[in-house]
């Protein structure tokens, strides 16, 4: 990054959606076609039922050890029920075990079904196009199917053409409609060079002519990857998910061994345990609830990101976002609004306010940047100067801003007026034999220390060359940023502002915004060094970027969020892409990652606590007849042993379907410390997991006892 002096050379499209603090959808963003996005739709259950039944394939079920055991148990109880067709208990247990497996598959199918609905919307944007490919020498064109394009090919697109593949603009500038990808109807500008050169296949050119260098193979385009990811086809289990699966498999083996030892004890006690009863006991003891919902929780986490127009290249990235401890945020457009505004005119000693305002407005009439327009408006509103146009000033010579001079201005009516960086304007005055007043440098330093950007205004007329005063440009911090950084601090996340500004300006903005630290006059090497330093301390780092110079840091960060408007290099380096190109989205990504981890932990706590209550339902029912003392454990006073076992199995199945909405929506996230979060989970989901089965099993037992011939 480089320090910006007069112009803020920011090419961020004015159509980039902004997001108010704590909002869920970017303002102006359309959500059409997103079926049940973020919410649980009961109709989706019926729609996903065929997929749930197809998942009964043992080759699919074996990927979830807990539910595979339930599937095997369902087959065994069904076989034994056929041996004794008159045993209603065996048939009832078999039916509810099959429902348990189907309900588990249904949770995953619903999550995948929502992704498929989103994929259908994306497929509408994926069309077979004819590309105008340039010959190697660039002298001629040939029309070829888009599927025949290869990496490195150059294609021409003009107004009305569909861009045939992902690539970078290497020649020209054009307005592009990306609504098929981002949902945002306003067009964006894509141009060669810089950080706004990447284009996506399936989007439409609205104006002008561009030459695109193809950067992806057919079938591996951005849309292809999005479709695969949102459908779940490309989703791989995350390390935490794998670890939890291993834990659940271990618990299943322990309970399997425990149940296998019961028949000898039962025979010794003079009672007999049938295979149906043993299977029912095993299914109720193993952690079926979390085993059934684990995959759905992971899919739903990625789904919540897609709802916010963020494409995660892997579930690992989503999970890493939940463990992030350091957040690197660009200042411009993220913490601040990005467009500096003229806040005041500060004249030097001996200069009238009106004279400075008049000169500042004249020097800004040809300046079409937001800063230049704000100078004209401030002079009009605060000093009553009418807004003049360039056409009114006949014979005026307009001096454009350049990186070399770092000044702009106008020569009119025998006067030369200049506006620009302090050092450049002072040098211009001295070159013309003028003297710079002592307080000019003091005023400029004072504004810099306050976090503003000083622009000096000077004039050369019959009285000689001299500085008239300083324009105070202020970079405005977005509303609510301090509160958001306070929340991140409560979560234990350190925030670091990255900026190309000088240290004085950077410190002032950092203090106003409330970030923990800042990196001023940052270069790509500085960013990389900072990330490595944080990671060396055992921290996970997240950052955003859009330029080729950001690619190394994005690749090094644990969570690298590339802007969709950025270069192909940035998008390839990051493990997430924000389709809205809204840098503040990084804060929400961290919150979604934490919500994923919290949801998984909460439902695991609930599932394990659930099993405790089932012990009190089944164990007394099995042995109370031979060991009357165990009847004291029958605190629910269930009507009969068969009713107790069946009630537990039914509750075990129903609780899965009851928790599907929570698994898909996620546990409500609040920025609290780990200790408070643990107490909250134990209080709500641990205690709730203990109480809910007692109430649920008792209600089911009462219903069963009313059925003639069963109760």
Half-sphere exposure of 418 (CA within 13 A, CB side): 24
153 is catalytic: no
220 annotated among ligand-binding-site residues: no
Contacts of 512 (CB under 8 A, 6+ apart): 451, 477, 482
Neighbours of 479 (CB within 10 A): 10
Q: How far is CA 105 from the centre of its chain?
A: 27
Determine contact, residues 144/131, Cβ cutoff 8 Å. Answer: yes
Beta strands in 224-305 (DSSP E): none
- Could you tell me which of 144, 203, 161 has the C-alpha nearest to residue 178? 203
d(CA 174, CA 161): 11
d(CA 617, CA 358): 87
Q: How many residues does the chain have?
A: 711
Strands 141-145 and 397-399: unpaired
458 annotated among ligand-binding-site residues: no
600 annotated among ligand-binding-site residues: no
Determine contact, residues 501/512, Cβ cutoff 8 Å. Answer: no
Secondary structure letter of residue 631 according to DSSP: G
Determine contact, residues 322/590, Cβ cutoff 8 Å. Answer: yes
d(CA 711, CA 709): 6
Instruction: Compute φ and ψ for 535, nearest 5 degrees.
Output: -65, -35
405 annotated among ligand-binding-site residues: yes
d(CA 599, CA 677): 11
The active-site residue, picked from 166, 195, 330, 578, is 330
209 annotated among ligand-binding-site residues: no
41 annotated among ligand-binding-site residues: no
550 annotated among ligand-binding-site residues: yes
621 annotated among ligand-binding-site residues: no
Beta pairing partners, 183:
none
Neighbours of 699 (CB within 10 A): 12
185 annotated among ligand-binding-site residues: no
- What is the end-to-end Cα distance of the chain in Å, rounded? 77
419 annotated among ligand-binding-site residues: yes
404 annotated among ligand-binding-site residues: yes
Q: CA gyration radius for the chain?
A: 33
* Per-state percent for the chain, helix, strand, coil, to nearest 5: 50, 15, 35
Neighbours of 171 (CB within 10 A): 16
406 annotated among ligand-binding-site residues: yes
Beta pairing partners, 172:
210
Determine contact, residues 560/543, Cβ cutoff 8 Å. Answer: yes
Beta strands in 537-606 (DSSP E): 541-545, 559-563, 576-578
Query: H helices within 261-286, ranges in order?
Result: 262-269, 275-285
Determine contact, residues 29/580, Cβ cutoff 8 Å. Answer: yes
d(CA 426, CA 306): 52
Q: Which two tokens stand for residue 632?
A: 């004291």
- Could you tell me which of 340, 370, 344 has the C-alpha nearest to residue 457? 344
Determine contact, residues 589/322, Cβ cutoff 8 Å. Answer: no
Beta strands in 229-361 (DSSP E): 310-312, 326-330, 341-347
Instruction: Compute φ and ψ for 616, nearest 5 degrees.
Output: -70, -20
153 annotated among ligand-binding-site residues: no
Residue-by-residue DSSP string for 88-143? HHHHHHHHHHHHHHHHHHHHHHHHHHHHHHHHHHHHHH----EEEEEPTTSS-EEE
d(CA 192, CA 169): 5
- Could you tell me which of 588, 558, 593, 585 has the C-alpha nearest to residue 574? 558
Binding site residues for Mg(2+), as ranges? Answer: 546, 550
Binding site residues for ATP, as ranges? Answer: 367, 371, 401-408, 419
Please give the positions annotated as active site. 330
């Amino acid at each position: 990054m480089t320090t910006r002096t007069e112009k803020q050379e920011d090419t961020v499209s004015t159509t980039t959606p902004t997001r108010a603090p704590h909002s869920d959808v970017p303002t102006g963003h359309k959500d059409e076609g997103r079926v049940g996005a973020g919410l649980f739709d009961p109709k989706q259950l019926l729609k996903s039922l065929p997929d749930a039944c197809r998942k009964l394939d043992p080759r699919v079920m074996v990927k979830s050890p807990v539910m595979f055991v339930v599937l095997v148990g369902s087959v065994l109880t069904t076989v034994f029920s056929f041996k004794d067709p008159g045993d209603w208990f065996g048939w009832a247990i078999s039916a509810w075990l099959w429902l348990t497996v189907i309900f588990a598959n249904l949770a995953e199918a619903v999550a995948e079904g929502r992704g498929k609905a989103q994929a259908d919307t994306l497929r509408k944007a994926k069309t077979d196009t004819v590309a105008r490919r340039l010959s190697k020498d660039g002298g001629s064109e040939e029309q070829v199917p888009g599927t025949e394009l290869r990496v490195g090919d150059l294609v021409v697109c003009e107004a009305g053409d569909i861009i045939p593949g992902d690539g970078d603009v290497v020649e020209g500038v054009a307005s592009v409609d990306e609504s098929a990808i981002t949902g945002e109807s306003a067009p964006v500008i894509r141009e060669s060079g810089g950080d706004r050169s990447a284009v996506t296949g399936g989007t439409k050119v609205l104006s002008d002519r561009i030459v695109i260098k193809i950067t992806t193979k057919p079938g591996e385009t951005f849309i292809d990857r999005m479709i695969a990811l949102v459908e779940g086809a490309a989703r791989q289990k995350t390390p935490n998910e794998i670890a939890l699966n291993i834990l659940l498999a271990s618990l299943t083996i322990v309970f399997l061994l425990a149940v296998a030892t019961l028949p000898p004890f039962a025979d010794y006690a003079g009672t007999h345990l049938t295979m149906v009863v043993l299977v029912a006991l095993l299914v109720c003891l193993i952690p079926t609830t979390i085993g059934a919902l684990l995959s759905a929780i992971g899919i739903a986490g990625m789904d919540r990101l897609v709802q916010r127009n963020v494409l995660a290249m892997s579930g690992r990235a989503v999970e890493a976002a939940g463990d992030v401890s350091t957040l690197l945020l660009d200042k411009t457009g993220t913490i601040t609004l990005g467009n500096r505004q003229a806040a005041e005119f500060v004249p030097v000693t001996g200069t009238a306010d009106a004279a400075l305002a008049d000169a500042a407005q004249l020097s800004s009439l040809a300046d079409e940047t937001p800063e230049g327009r704000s100078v004209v408006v401030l002079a009009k509103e605060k000093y009553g100067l009418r807004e003049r146009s360039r056409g009114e000033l006949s014979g005026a010579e307009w001096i454009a801003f350049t990186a070399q001079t770092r000044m702009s201005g106008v020569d009119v009516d025998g006067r030369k007026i200049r506006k620009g960086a302090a050092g450049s304007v002072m040098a211009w005055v001295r070159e013309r034999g003028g003297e710079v007043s002592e307080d000019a440098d003091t005023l400029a330093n004072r504004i810099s220390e306050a976090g503003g950007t000083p622009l000096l205004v000077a004039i050369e007329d019959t009285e000689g060359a001299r500085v008239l005063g300083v324009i105070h440009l202020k970079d405005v911090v977005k509303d609510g940023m301090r509160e958001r950084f306070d929340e991140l601090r409560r979560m234990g996340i350190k925030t670091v502002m990255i900026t190309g500004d000088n240290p004085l300006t950077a410190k002032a903005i950092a203090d106003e915004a409330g970030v923990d630290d800042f990196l001023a006059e940052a270069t790509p090497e500085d960013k990389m060094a900072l990330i490595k330093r944080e990671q060396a301390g055992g921290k996970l780092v997240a950052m955003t970027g859009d330029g080729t110079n950001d690619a190394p840091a994005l690749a090094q960060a644990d969570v690298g969020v590339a802007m969709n408007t950025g270069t192909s290099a940035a998008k390839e380096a990051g493990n997430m892409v924000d389709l809205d190109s809204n840098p503040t989205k990084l804060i929400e990504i961290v919150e979604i990652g934490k919500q994923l981890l919290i949801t998984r932990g909460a439902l695991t706590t609930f599932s394990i606590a659930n099993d405790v209550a089932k012990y009190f339902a089944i164990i007394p029912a099995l042995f109370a007849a031979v060991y009357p003392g165990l009847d004291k454990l029958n605190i629910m006073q269930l009507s009969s042993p068969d009713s107790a076992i069946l009630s537990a199995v039914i509750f075990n199945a129903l609780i899965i379907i009851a928790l599907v909405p929570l698994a898909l929506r996620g546990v409500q996230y609040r920025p609290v410390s780990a200790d408070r979060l643990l107490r909250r989970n134990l209080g709500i989901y641990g205690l709730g997991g203990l109480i809910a089965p007692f109430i649920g099993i008792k209600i089911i037992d009462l219903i069963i006892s009313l059925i003639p011939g069963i109760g």
